[in-house]
Amino acid sequence: MKYDVVGLGVSTIDLLMVVDELPGGELVQKAHATAVAGGGPVATALVALARLGGKGAMLDRLGDDLFGRMILEEFGREGVDTSGIAIAQGKSSSQASILVRRRDGARAITFAPGDSGELDAADLAVDAIRAARILHLNGRHWDASLRAARVAREAGVRISFDGGSHRFQPAHRELMPLVDICIVAHDYATAFTGAADPGKAALALVEAGPGVVAVTCGTDGSHVAARGGEQFHQIAFPVEHVVDTTGAGDAYHGAFLFALIRGYSLRDSARMASAVGALNTRALGGRAALPTFAELESYLLERS
Amino acid sequence: MKYDVVGLGVSTIDLLMVVDELPGGELVQKAHATAVAGGGPVATALVALARLGGKGAMLDRLGDDLFGRMILEEFGREGVDTSGIAIAQGKSSSQASILVRRRDGARAITFAPGDSGELDAADLAVDAIRAARILHLNGRHWDASLRAARVAREAGVRISFDGGSHRFQPAHRELMPLVDICIVAHDYATAFTGAADPGKAALALVEAGPGVVAVTCGTDGSHVAARGGEQFHQIAFPVEHVVDTTGAGDAYHGAFLFALIRGYSLRDSARMASAVGALNTRALGGRAALPTFAELESYLLERS
């Protein structure tokens, strides 16, 4: 296959600053550290995959502004294919300002979606989807997502869904029966299934369609369930000094898909995903600390 | 003369977002509007001057990073000379994240000074200073500022000082006897002189050296005093819908210097400065709404 994963979502530029105070009122303060980094859940999952050695392609619609150019440049540096990204002339791309409080890592995120708009379902790079092992969605560009899922289904391409970054929306019920791999945050799983317990929510999601489900619970790890009855809990690897949790969940997704594609067991895939998520919290920004495959291997070896 | 004003200070890139809440804790919110704009008190004063038709040159030290390139590009577009800006290889430029609360314009500013460091006094473009009518300082790059002031003094170039953007520092007492035009915020004037009343503080500052002093009080206007006894209050022009006050003080400086150079009276200069400061609050970002000379003239004509 040409691609391991084709992702459809919204790419952003994140401007991160580590601060003493999340400013509740008028305030002038000095940042302890800053970073400019690409973001967006699907986009960062693809970069995590690429860092590990996988081949990804992003489908999105950007403005032709500074931030749009920065997004394309970063994908280029990371080896993520951008030929399926549409450019909206005279429009702005998505950006976010993220203030990270130093003492506890609490984050205040202000996002500006830009006005480049939805990717038209008619503009979807269907050939890229057909040339992928997995299509990764998170519900953005909704009409295009539904078409992409149908194209993938017809071509025998597995479909992965990230429900972690968005609040649950009833429309997602239309997509879930098409999903093969569903990795969602605890809140999302509870909203979808009605089950407060993450393990039970994972099982209930398997009933809704996906053959593989992971429900992520931050530092409480993740609950994985699969059709056929396999079910287990994966711990979150403890991190001595968390700098920034931005992108940790997205990294988990990218690594999970990479591992499944490379034929690792479900348990090994969850362990690798958890490790990549933990490693990614070591530096400011959603992507700076994403490991290579060699770094991941040596990290896991030390902990086996 | 080659330049109307040569300015020595720190240039930044401001990333502005209009928000509902200044986030006192963990929060995800959508911005109503965003802007990326050059900033820095001296830098914006030079752009205000250039927009009115004056010729300015900036002296500074930038990193060779994305923000440094953006700063240079914007000066280029505005016609501000950058030949006296030193570039520090591998270093970062100054940036600021500014959240503007929509309901009242309150601002939370987080600034990151970068690591490009102080402009070395030995690297000062002394020829540019000698070719200027006015040298504009705000106390940044302190050693270079003292040298610049001495060079200006010897060459008969007038010296302007902006104390509005910084807290008063005792070292500034060394500079003040060299200053000809001193425009400072009320807080600064009180800290320097001990006089709480802005009119009295203006008179006390004249005693400290400058021939022209303005003490700015935001929407309460400004108190102007000059050696020889002239003293008056300039109102702040009312603005029906203030979008963002970022850069209003800097714009006041640039316009005041422009007017003095063009031979306007002190009263006319203060009136023009006040108008440019008010006009500059009409748009998000420190420079977007700076008027041309024609716009300023028609604005004042409507109010005369």
Q: Can you tell me the mean pLDDT for B42-66?
A: 97
> Is residue B99 in a domain?
no
Evaluate whether residue B8 is within a structural domain.
yes
A112: which chain B residues are within 8 Å (Cβ-Cβ)?
17, 30-31, 33-34
CA A123 to chain CA mean position, Å: 23
Cβ distance of A29 and B110 shorter than 8 Å: yes
Per-residue pLDDT, B166: 59
Q: Is the pLDDT of residue B34 over 70?
A: yes
Look at residue A27 in the predicted model and tell me its pLDDT.
86
The conformational region for residue B139 under phi > 0 = left, psi -120 to 50 = alpha, else beta, is: left
Alpha-helical runs (H) found in chain A = 41-52, 66-78, 126-130, 142-155, 172-175, 186-193, 198-207, 248-261, 266-279, 293-302
Of A66, A97, A107, the CB nearest to B97: A97
Number of domains in chain B: 1
Any B CB within 8 A of A109 CB: yes
Contact list in B for residue A28 (CB cut-off 8 A) is 109, 111
pLDDT for position B27: 86
Q: Is A50 helix (H, G, I), strand (E, B) or coil?
A: helix
Residues of B in contact with A36 (CB under 8 A): 66
Q: What is the pLDDT of residues A177-197, one digit of tens each?
A: 999 999 999 999 999 999 999
Q: Do A22 and B23 touch (CB under 8 A)?
A: yes
| Predicted confidence (pLDDT) per residue in B183-240, tens digit | 999 999 999 999 999 999 999 999 999 999 999 999 999 999 999 999 999 999 999 8
**B97 within domain boundaries:** no
Instruction: Measure the N-to-C terminal CA separation of chain B; round to a whole number of Å.
Output: 33
Q: Chain A partners of B104 at a C-beta cutoff of 8 Å? A: none
Domain of B278, CATH number, reads 3.40.1190.20
- Tell whether B81 is covered by a domain: yes
**Phi and psi (nearest 5°) for B154?**
-65, -35
The pLDDT of residue A242: 87
In degrees rounded to 5, what are phi and psi of residue B37?
-145, 145
d(CA B41, CA B44): 5
- Could you tell me if A211 and A227 are in contact, meaning their C-beta atoms sit under 8 angstroms apart? yes
Q: Does B218 touch chain A (CB under 8 A)?
A: no
In the block, which residue shows the tokens 């020595």? Answer: B8
Mean pLDDT of A145-150: 97
Distance CA A271, CA A279 (A): 12
The strand order across the sheet containing A94-101 reads A33-39, A12-19, A94-101, A107-112, B27-30
For residue A197, give every residue at least 6 positions away whose Cβ sits within 8 Å of its Cβ, in sequence order, or none.
none
Rounded Cα–Cα distance for residues A89 and A104 (Å): 41
Distance between CA atoms of B257 and B251, rounded to whole angstroms? 10
Among candidates B17, B33, B111 on the partner chain, residue whose Cβ is nearest the Cβ of A97: B17
Contact B10, B133 (CB under 8 A): no
Residue A168 pLDDT greater than 90, yes or no: no
pLDDT in tens, A41-63: 999 999 999 999 999 999 999 99
What is the structure's pLDDT at A96?
Answer: 94
**Which of A27, A65, A97 would best serve as a mutation to test chain B binding (most B beta carbons within 10 A)?**
A97
Q: How confident is the model at residue A121 (pLDDT cuts 50, 70, 90)?
A: very high
pLDDT of residue B165: 54
Q: What one-character-per-residue DSSP string does B142-198 give?
A: HHHHHHHHHHHHHHT-EEEEE-SSS---TTHHHHGGG-SEEEEEHHHHHHHH--SSH
Which one of A27, A34, A110 has the shortest CB-CB distance to B31?
A110
CA distances from A190 to A201, A260, B204 (A): 6, 25, 68
The predicted model gives B2-9 an average pLDDT of 97
For A26, which of B28, B95, B106 is closest by C-beta distance? B106
- Cβ neighbourhood burial of A177 (10 Å; 0-12, 13-18, 19+): exposed
Give the mean pLDDT of A71-89. Answer: 97
Contact with chain B for residue A115, Cβ under 8 A: no
In Å, how far is B212's CA from the nearest CA of chain A? 29
**Per-residue confidence (pLDDT) for residue B168, from 0 to 100:** 85
Q: Tens digit of pLDDT for each residue in A19-38?
A: 999 988 888 899 999 999 99
Q: Which two tokens stand for residue A194?
A: 């009605």
CA distance B114 to B133: 31
Residue B284 resides in a domain: yes
User: What sign has the CA pseudo-torsion A127, A130, A134, A135?
Assistant: positive
State the Cα torsion B93-B133-B300-B51 to the nearest 10°.
-40
Q: What percent of chain A has pLDDT over 70?
A: 99
- pLDDT of A166 > 80? The answer is no
Is A167 part of the contact surface with chain B (CB cutoff 8 Å)?
A: no
pLDDT (mean) for A230-242: 94
Average pLDDT, chain B: 95
pLDDT of A241 over the 90 cut:
no
Of B298, B301, B235, the residue nearest B267 (C-alpha): B235
Q: What distance in Å separates the CA atoms of residue B83 and residue B67, rounded to the nearest whole number? A: 17
Res. A67: pLDDT tops 70:
yes
Lowest mean pLDDT among B80-89, B120-129, B166-175: B166-175
Convert the pLDDT of each residue in B246-288 to its tens digit: 999 999 999 999 999 999 999 999 999 999 999 999 999 999 9
pLDDT at A210 over 70: yes
Whether A86 and chain B come into contact, CB under 8 Å, resolves to no
Q: Are A76 and A57 in contact (CB under 8 A)?
A: no
- Model confidence band, residue A163 (pLDDT cutoffs 50, 70, 90): confident
pLDDT at A254: 98
For chain B, the residue count is 304
Q: Is A30 on the interface with B (CB under 8 A)?
A: yes
The mean per-residue pLDDT over the stretch B158-179 comes to 87
Tell me the pLDDT of chain A averaged across its residues. Answer: 95
Find the CB nearest B31 among A23, A25, A112.
A112
Residue B76 is assigned to a structural domain of this protein: yes
Residues of the domain holding A74: 3-21+30-302
Q: Is residue B111 part of a domain?
A: no
Give the containing element (helix H, strand E) for B74. Answer: helix B66-78
Is any Cβ of chain B less than 8 angstroms from the Cβ of A111?
A: yes
Tell me what pLDDT residue A167 has: 76
How far is Cα B283 from Cα B156, in angstroms, rounded to an integer? 38
pLDDT of A274 reads 98
Q: Which residue of A31, A106, A113 is in closest CB contact with B110?
A: A31
pLDDT at B107 over 80: yes
* Alpha-carbon span A236 to A240, nearest angstrom: 12
What pLDDT, on the 0 to 100 scale, is given for residue B184? 95
Residue B106 lies inside a defined structural domain of this protein: no
Query: Given this model, what pLDDT does residue A252 score?
Result: 97
pLDDT above 80: residue A137? yes
Residue B224's H or E segment, with its range, is strand B222-226
